[in-house]
Structure 1
Amino acid sequence: MMQLQSLRAVRAAASSSSSSARERAVRAKAAEDAAPSSPAAANAVAAGAPAAAAAADDLLDELYVAAENAATAASTRGAGCSSAAPVVAASAAAGGAAEAAPASEDGSSEAKQQQQQQQQQQPSSPTASGGGGGSGRVPPTHVVAPDLPADLDVFNNAVLLVDKPREWTSFDACNAIKGAMKRLGVKKVGHAGTLDPAATGLLIICTGAGTKSIEGFMAAHKEYSGTLKLGEGTPSLDAETAVDQRLAWEHITDEQLAEAAKKLTGDIEQVPPMFSAVHHQGKRLHELARAGVTVDRPARPVTVTRFDVKRDPNDRQLVHFSVGCSKGTYIRTLGHDLATSLGTTGHLVALRRDAIGEARVDKAWDVQVLVDKLFAAIREQRGGTEADYQQNRGGNRRPRGNGKGRARGKGKQQQAAADTQPAAGQTTA
């Protein structure tokens, strides 16, 4: 019923447009009587306008009957049929009738069409998020070395580029600046992608509303560089644990090395290492590994866009590499797979993250320099004594525990006990 009402309303509007055309024809005839000096022009208007109006009426009648029949048929077929088609058809007919009628002398119809075309050609403005997608979020401020912004309020929505030190966990780096953020009233601090304790390089730390950008950074393309030692394997595939396997490596040529690396580029599958944060039946794999437990892990698809290798000129057992890869790629596994494909074993003795998307480590802060500058700026702008700031940052000058991370809630006591024990394959200092 609503469909037919809409159709009748459209037809009424179209008929009104046709009636206006007839009225203009009558006025044109009157103009002919008043101005006999231009009989040719007046006759053309008087003869052409009624013909155009009549043709428009006929077309409207035909389209309206067809649209009404289609609407009736759709209603008999039941729900699920779109009611937009007959209304759109009738609207199009009305528009065609209006175009058939002569335009007014002031050219208002033509001007309106030009205005609509200009509006369609204007590009849409970018969203406030800066990344498109219509999120409407204000993009975070990127705080890069060596200078802090004058306005400390930017940390309510900021992204910090940090060069993570060796032996620090990614959470250690976050904890290092939490004291300063607390003084600024910023409650949320998080990192965008874990770096192994043995690795160094770019770690993106987001503060305040900037934490909403974490997922975007984690999905970005990554770049790494490092060194692989052939012939020596470790449980963790890096230098975090002691060597437990030795195999011959001297037979490997530079050509074989380059060819093997080439085969590991593109879309490949990786088995996550046991020493990783992947969950298995409610526990992280590295917890099982340190307990001496090994479990089957399903392979995961990753993409390696670049894997360049070069032998060390002074020690051929060492292979320097650079990698471009997708989210979720384990560089330790990539190095180990390279070694095993050549009939030996190997582990990483150095790993550094050089870039995440467009962010590069050469613009990153030294953690301690950043913390010192933050507290100095806060004290200058917000006041307080040196003792106040030392109390907030005293425990943030070095990583906590033994690099295993920090448990929460009920796990704190177990974590404290575990911190007094050496990890699997490690010896106490």
Structure 2
Amino acid sequence: MSVPHIKDCVLLIDKPSGYTSFDIIHRIRKTLKVKKCGHAGTLDKFASGLLIVCLGWATRLVPFVMGMDKRYIATMQLGVATDTHDSEGQVISKSNIQCTVEDIQSCLQTYFTGEIMQVPPDYSAIKINGKRSSDRVRKGELVAIAPRPVHIHKITVIDFDTACSQLTLDITCSKGTYIRALARDLGLRLHTGAHVIALRRVAIGDFNVTDAITMEQCVELSHKNSEDMRGIITPFRALGHFGIIAVKRDSLIKIKHGKLLGYDDITYVTGEPVFRVVPEGTEALVALAVKDEKGYRCKKVFIEEIDKIDTMK
């Protein structure tokens, strides 16, 4: 039996280092007794920080949450390169450090700001002919991953400890950015080599790790009311960057059957270009819609939520 008050929602989890994202999903599924459970953007095993987990039918929101920008605090060891570009890999080169913080800032501004082309690490979950790149590399295969565009919105130096050549950066970037690859490329540009020794994701979109719960607190969800716990987000609030369309309750049948919403179905509209559709006076997310020439077309319909409203009539 599932925990009744924890379903069809989004959890903000502060993932500890030493656990894979799948480890966290497995523990949540077992602890909260939910069948559907998925994360919206993986974190490496050595990394910590914000992991957004969707439960129940809210797993259908994963693609939309994954598209949000991410913010990381990353500490890199200059002068040492590893095959995985993190501290779990094998050292492949060492060099003397002859750069200053001014050199680093200039390099970041020139090569790592705005849209850049980035080659993901060979040790990554990128699929090559149906198999993970990391699995192929571990079997001794040579892989070639094509570069892809990513956007670095902001990258600033927090600290450069010259005594141990460790650089800490605050990075805000788009979906698909690999911080390990950024460390690799920065090391190449500085002619020093570099790898990530600590990584923490502090934000995804408007969600911050300070609002997240630990795995220990997640266990408590099984016997506490959801209203008493932070870190639990409704599907409506999980997509707060989307617009809103409020519809008349009588129009829910049209949504359920995939019909176009006309202007006479709507009582309120704000934002663009994708809209969260809710019955007027509620935050029950029943669909996601886009504007059409003759009204609004629902691209995703959440039948489960409509049926829940129908049973409450």
Using the size of structure 1 for normalisation, the TM-score is: 0.50
- Identity across the alignment (%): 39
**Residue 161 of structure 2 contacts residue 167 of structure 2 at CA under 8 Å; is this kept in 1?**
no
Residue 196 of structure 1 aligns with an amino acid whose one-letter code is: D
1:232 maps to what in 2?
80
**Cα 1:220–1:362, aligned 2, differ >3 Å: closer, same or farther?**
same
Cα distance, 1:154 vs structure 2: 4.0
**Residue 261 of structure 1 contacts residue 309 of structure 1 at CA under 8 Å; is this kept in 2?**
no
Deviations 1:92-150 (A, max 9, x none): xxxxxxxxxxxxxxxxxxxxxxxxxxxxxxxxxxxxxxxxxxxxxxxxxxxxxxxxxxx
Superposition pairs of residues 167-178 of structure 1, within 5 angstroms = 167-178=18-29
Cα distance, 1:177 vs structure 2: 1.1
**Cα 1:360–1:348, aligned 2, differ >3 Å: closer, same or farther?**
same
Determine the C-alpha separation between the residues in 2 that align with 1:305 and 1:337. Answer: 17
* Correspondent of 2:221 among 357, 367, 374: 374
Using the size of structure 2 for normalisation, the TM-score is: 0.68
- SS class of match (1:261): helix
**Residue 39 of structure 2 contacts residue 62 of structure 2 at CA under 8 Å; is this kept in 1?**
yes
Cα distance, 1:293 vs structure 2: 2.4
**Residue 239 of structure 1 contacts residue 347 of structure 1 at CA under 8 Å; is this kept in 2?**
yes
Deviations 1:285-322 (A, max 9, x none): 11012223221111000100011124434635000001
Between structures 1 and 2, the one with greater strand share: 2
* Correspondent of 2:109 among 262, 284, 287: 262
Deviations 1:155-189 (A, max 9, x none): 2211100011111110101111112332xxx3211
1:252 maps to what in 2?
99
1:328 maps to what in 2?
176
Determine the C-alpha separation between the residues in 2 that align with 1:262 and 1:342. Answer: 13
* Correspondent of 2:9 among 143, 158, 164: 158
Cα distance, 1:344 vs structure 2: 1.5
Greater relative contact order, per chain length (Cα 8 Å cut-off, separation 6+): 2
Cα distance, 1:199 vs structure 2: 0.6
Higher Rg:
1
1:357 maps to what in 2?
205
Residue 22 of structure 2 aligns with an amino acid whose one-letter code is: F
Of the structure 1 ranges 302-311 and 198-207, higher mean CA displacement relative to structure 2 is found in 302-311
Deviations 1:258-288 (A, max 9, x none): 0111121101000010110001122101101
2:121 maps to what in 1?
273
Residue 142 of structure 2 aligns with an amino acid whose one-letter code is: T
Determine the C-alpha separation between the residues in 2 that align with 1:297 and 1:236. Answer: 14
1:243 maps to what in 2?
91
- SS class of match (1:365): coil
Which consecutive residues of structure 1, in runs of 5 or more, have no partner in the other structure? 1-151, 379-429
Deviations 1:220-278 (A, max 9, x none): 011000100001011110012132211222x1011110011112110100001011000
Determine the C-alpha separation between the residues in 2 that align with 1:314 and 1:260. Answer: 17
Residue 286 of structure 1 aligns with an amino acid whose one-letter code is: S
Deviations 1:381-409 (A, max 9, x none): xxxxxxxxxxxxxxxxxxxxxxxxxxxxx
1:309 maps to what in 2?
157
1:189 maps to what in 2?
37
| Superposed CA RMSD | 1.6
Residue 300 of structure 1 aligns with an amino acid whose one-letter code is: R
**Residue 150 of structure 2 contacts residue 177 of structure 2 at CA under 8 Å; is this kept in 1?**
yes
Which aligned segments of 4 or more residues in structure 1 are displaced greater than 4 angstroms? Answer: none
Deviations 1:37-69 (A, max 9, x none): xxxxxxxxxxxxxxxxxxxxxxxxxxxxxxxxx
**Residue 12 of structure 2 contacts residue 53 of structure 2 at CA under 8 Å; is this kept in 1?**
yes
**Residue 339 of structure 1 contacts residue 346 of structure 1 at CA under 8 Å; is this kept in 2?**
yes
1:338 aligns with 2:186: yes
Determine the C-alpha separation between the residues in 2 that align with 1:239 and 1:159. Answer: 31
Determine the C-alpha separation between the residues in 1 that align with 2:6 and 2:188. Answer: 46
**Residue 9 of structure 2 contacts residue 56 of structure 2 at CA under 8 Å; is this kept in 1?**
yes
1:113 maps to what in 2?
none
Which consecutive residues of structure 2, in runs of 5 or more, have no partner in the other structure? 226-313
* Correspondent of 1:213 among 45, 61, 64: 61
Residue 107 of structure 2 aligns with an amino acid whose one-letter code is: A
**Residue 158 of structure 2 contacts residue 170 of structure 2 at CA under 8 Å; is this kept in 1?**
no
- SS class of match (2:28): helix
Determine the C-alpha separation between the residues in 1 that align with 2:41 and 2:75. Answer: 21
- SS class of match (1:244): strand
- SS class of match (1:302): strand
